[in-house]
Structure 1
Amino acid sequence: MEISRLRALRELSTRQTMAAVADALFLTPSAVSQQIAQLEEEAGIKLTERQGRGVRLTTAGEVLVAHVERLLGVLEEAKSDLAQLKREIAGKIRVAAFPTVAAALLPHVIKTLGVSYPFLEIVLEEMEPADGLAALGSWRADIAFVDDLTFRLRREDKTVEQVPLLEDVLYALLPCGHRYADRATVSMGELKNEAWALDSASSFYAEFIVNLCRRAGYEPRINAECRGFEILGAMVAAGCSVSVIPGLRLSHTPSDVRAVKLRPEMKRRISVAYRRGERKHPAVQVFVSQLLASAKELALRPVPQLPA
């Protein structure tokens, strides 16, 4: 049984459509269907069956995927052992990171490692936590950043290891002239009658903010869905909207806004994730080590104070 076909089956076990598997593996849906058909022919038993518009695994398919999980873990450990024997930190690390942590941490990490390990290439791709974790599972990424607000590990618990990095406090972002702009804290309930700008580039984070409003007893009136922070910040600065942003964004906010801590305090926990079988890979180890050092340094810096 070819590894590529086994990986396709593993992806199908979670993504449930040929199109979704094709996107993850950079193939066409017909190529994925062909791989699954060839795998079923090799196995001599039906591994999948139609379910509505999607596909689900048969009992035989689920049994095979369980073996595939262990097999891929062993292959990852073998790669790590060989890399250790080379005694050289080299090769490519593909990093999937969402914008806030990417901007706050990764430039310094990549620069520092580039000086210490000139043969180590780090390639960064912006992805939201769920997409980054999916990329990790499909070998499109070697490192992924996740947070506990927008994603929870499920099946990947067996194959992915997480290392906590830092806690990021959330703030209400208000125009300078807002009646709560000079307060030390503000509750979500006090923002009930405001218009809201949301960063729709992250559907998970936008949904989290909407749910915060709902828990405070109201449906937010959204007047801006922004694919990124630039327009969101401009809407707040102009007095058109309010929003809630992570503390890591404060150093990149316009000068004519105010960040007020939420009451009760709310924070997200950010972690770095990698495949469990690669925990001893030298390149992964030095990357995570430098990341932890940079995160510790960042946590010791004072919170940027926005002008009143």
Structure 2
Amino acid sequence: MTLDVNSLATMGAVMRTGSFAAAARELGYTPSAVSQQMSALERSLGIRLFDREPRRVTPTEAAHYVQERSEQVIDLLGQLEVDLARLGAGETGRLRVGTFDSAGGPIMGQAIARFLVRRREVQITLDEGEPYELFPRVSDGGLDLALGFQYDLVPRKFPDNLRLSEVMTEDLYVVAHRKHRLAGRPSVRLEELHGETWVAHREETPSHHCLQELCARSGFRPEIAFRSNNLGTVKGIVAAGLAVAMIPQLSYRPDEDDVVALPIAETMPRRQIVAATRADDANPLTAAFLGAMRRVALP
């Protein structure tokens, strides 16, 4: 049995008007075409839908039952068309995003709020992690978009099916306690930090590799005593006067107690904040959300 939605709609017109000819005028068909559609529908269903008389047709009980149920199907299909149109226009649907810790408030939170202003029916889920954790999840379809970063001095190693879009570029700062021996100087050379105790991110992170390469170019290896991927912990150790650190611009606030940036004389590397999406992603919400993030990051 094969049901044709057009034939069901034609059957409804016949039942409303009481004849094949009247239904044909309403639908723009010929009476013969309407009659053939109804005969084909009866053969498909294996039941008689109309008692045919010379000038009118009378629906059978089976026709009333089919019409009642088919109206529900047609209504559902109509709503499906509306929903699909809204989905294609980016007005509804689901978006799964990821972010790293320091971008959660300054970029991601504001981007979500801006994005939802005209999209109240969109469902957004948010997860947090490092780029090396989140980007593979975008690659395999677990996330639609993830915010991450890459450093000038660290070669990127991301899955081949990802598209990276730059959101913003930020400076890197070397920070120390406000009473540090070099604090207050107009500028310092990075080599003057030889022998300092450092707090850094874990060894598998791009931040760690950037610090190692940066110090190596200045002729020394940083003495890392503390490791944490939590920037609050990193700054807390610096504020306690226990170590110096390299942190990104997003994480530094000049008004923070006991933490100051050391003005490095050399040109410091920078960090690019990027959004990872799949190259074959067809979700219209992804591009719209990327635009919201860029507007937040670059007002």
**TM-score for the superposition, normalised by structure 2:** 0.65
Alpha-carbon distance, 1:176 to partner: 0.3
Contact 1:189/1:213 (<8 A) preserved: yes
- Correspondence for 1:118 among 117, 120, 136: 120
Per-residue deviation at 1:286?
1.3
Q: State which of 157, 165, 168 in structure 2 corresponds to 1:166.
A: 168
Aligned residue runs from structure 1 range 33-48, under 5 A? none
- 1:212 alignment partner in structure 2: 214
CA contact (8 A) 2:98 2:134 kept: yes
Give 1:154 shift. 5.2
Any idea what the Cα deviations from partners look like across 1:168-219, whole Å, max 9, x if unmatched? 1000111101122113443321111210011229633123212322222112
SS in 1 for 2:294: helix
Partner of 1:10: none
Q: Percent identity?
A: 24
1:47 equivalent in structure 2: none
Give secondary structure in 2 for the equivalent of 1:240.
coil
Q: 1:86 to 1:142 in 2, by over 3 A?
A: closer
Q: Does 1:273 align with 2:276?
A: yes
Aligned with 2:182: secondary structure?
coil
Question: How far does residue 261 in structure 1 lie from its aligned partner after superposition?
Answer: 3.9
**How is 1:213-232 mapped onto 2 (pairs within 5 angstroms)?**
213-232=215-234
Superposition RMSD in Å: 2.4
- The one-letter code sitting in structure 1 at the alignment partner of 2:156 is R
Q: Give the C-alpha shift of residue 242 in structure 1.
A: 0.4
Number of equivalenced pairs: 213
Partner of residue 181, structure 1: 183
> Does the residue aligned with 1:186 lie in a helix, a strand or coil?
coil
* Alignment of 1:152 onto 2:152: no
* Structure 2 residue runs without a partner (length 5+): 1-83
Are residues 153 and 218 of structure 1, via their aligned partners in 2, closer, same or farther at CA, if it must alter by over 3 Å?
Answer: closer
Distance in 2 (CA, whole Å) between partners of 1:86 and 1:238 is 53
The amino acid of 1:187's aligned partner reads R
- Which residue in 1 is equivalent to 2:138? 136
CA distance in 2, matches of 1:89, 1:116: 8
C-alpha change, 1:185 and 1:83, in structure 2 (3 Å) is farther
Cα displacement string for residues 224-271 of structure 1 (whole angstroms, at most 9, x for unaligned residues): 112412222122112110011001101398411101343223211221
Q: Tell me whether 178-187 or 191-200 shows the greater mean CA deviation.
A: 178-187
Name stretches of at least 5 consecutive residues in structure 1 with no aligned partner. 1-81, 298-308
Distance (whole Å) between structure 2 residues aligned to residue 126 and residue 210 of structure 1: 25
The question of whether the paired residues in 1 share the 8 Å contact of 2:111 and 2:296 is answered with yes
- Point out the structure with max Rg over C-alpha: 2
CA distance in 1, matches of 2:255, 2:131: 22
Corresponding residue of 1:70: none
Equivalent residue of 1:217, what SS? coil
* 4+ long deviations beyond 4 Å: 82-86
Asked if the contact 1:94–1:141 (Cα under 8 Å) also holds between the matched residues in 2, the reply is: yes
Residue in 2 that maps onto 1:235: 237
Q: Secondary structure at the residue paired with 2:226?
A: strand
Q: Which amino acid aligns with 1:124?
A: L
Say if 1:201 and 1:226, in contact at 8 Å, map to a contact too.
no
Q: Distance in 1 between matches of 2:167 and 2:132?
A: 17
